[in-house]
Structure 1
Amino acid sequence: MHDTRLPPLEWVRAFEAAARLGSFTAAADEIGLTQAAVSQRIGQLEKRLGVGLFHRRPRNISLTVEGEAWLPHVRHALDGLRDSTEAVFGAGQKRLTVSASQSVIDLWLMPRLARLQSMVAAELSVRTLVLGAHDAPGDDVIGIRYGTGDWPHPFRARLYAEALAPVAAPALTHRSGAWTTWPRIACAGPRPGWPALGVRLRHTHDPGAAAAV
């Protein structure tokens, strides 16, 4: 990053809206600007940061690697600003926030969101969990986390169990030698059951069984 000053909030808002909607035009409609104004603000933001945030094509845009890496942090910051504004200046409407990883939100929470909304007498919002970020605890935040469940919280419930199974790329099955020597993907962070699975695999005598899963 060539410039350590914080970029203007209006530039960051334009980036978040365009990334979420996948279009400068749609972002302009949401923010209330012209497409050219959104494009200009994002261009200024990219110049300030010293990196490209979007791949621009004739019919669509997509995030660069740097844009994808920054987006969760931008959303986290904007959510925090929105929540604090509501807490200090809001009209007092009760609000409930669900915090989870993006994959859990997309694959598990969103299909159940309408039902959850009908069960709570509050405005419901969803926040993407940013790894390494520590939210201040509060009665209005429900955190969906991965782990064994031994967190120091008075109220917690198991949502679903996890099943671990080995898989292999088809190209690897043509290799000679023991399958235990094949390259394996390492996992970062707590993965209950993952070390035990590795032990079971090392004691498996039929390499074809593991490769076929």
Structure 2
Amino acid sequence: MRRIPPLAAVRVFEAAARHQNFTAAAVELGMTQAAVSYQIKLLEERLGVPLFHREKKRVMLTEAGKRAAPQVGRAFDALDSAFATIRAEDEALLTVSTSNTFANTWLAWRLGSFQMAHPDMAVRLLTSDALAEFGSDEVDVAIRAGIGPWPDLSQDLLVPIDFTPMCSPGFLRRHGPVEPRDLLHLPLISPHDPWWTFWLREAGVDVPDGQLRPGVRLDSQAHEGHAAMAGQGMAMLTPFFWRNDLADGRLARPFDQVSTRGYAYWLVCPEARRGVPKIKRFREWLLAELARDLPSPV
């Protein structure tokens, strides 16, 4: 069993011995000069020998202090080297967790530009609609859909989530022109989604309680949008994610009305890790990319 004195006190001794000055050690360690003196006194009492001579406004190492200081310094150098390897490995890999929808409709199409801008960093993208657990999932940052706030997490608003029905142009030609009330009788994709009832009632349609009607049930908006492009029915989609498909004629928007329930996509990470360089670089890149794609406020 190692008989090591309290490491907090040893750390203070190493800095004070290196500077030969309690005030300079306090500045380096982010402590008060009184706290440095207290830790040195604790260490001296634990060892039973003085480590410093106190002479007015200066301190000098005793013979015992002189013998210990080089070895303690080398020990801290070894510790720094050991953890530097871990820091370098951690900095070389960024793990991003996000939903299937955000990954498939936007992020996966853009992530290559971040990788090219930071060729020394590998990026791992985890897609799941379950909330990432930062402590156990080894995730650096997450792009999360919800209302928030999330305690102890840094949060940046990315994209407000709104929604409106969309379909393929061919589907619209077969069934159009359509009014909102017609949606009660048309093939719907994921009719179990409560957004349907919310949107229809905002449109003035008297919607009965319960599921609207049987239909194809998919697990993410990314899949629903592609099913709509294939002519499988009308899907409730967020215009931002499908703007290119709308512009290229793969999807059509029959109605001007867009609804929202106050949800949004957020970038989140543990508050204590917000300033980690790789997280900071990803956050700055992500916000800049979205600023180019999001419509300017009127």
Common fold by TM > 0.5: no
Tell which has more relative contact order, 1 or 2 (C-alpha 8 A, sep 6+): 2
Structure showing greater radius of gyration is 2
TM-score (norm. length: structure 1) = 0.40
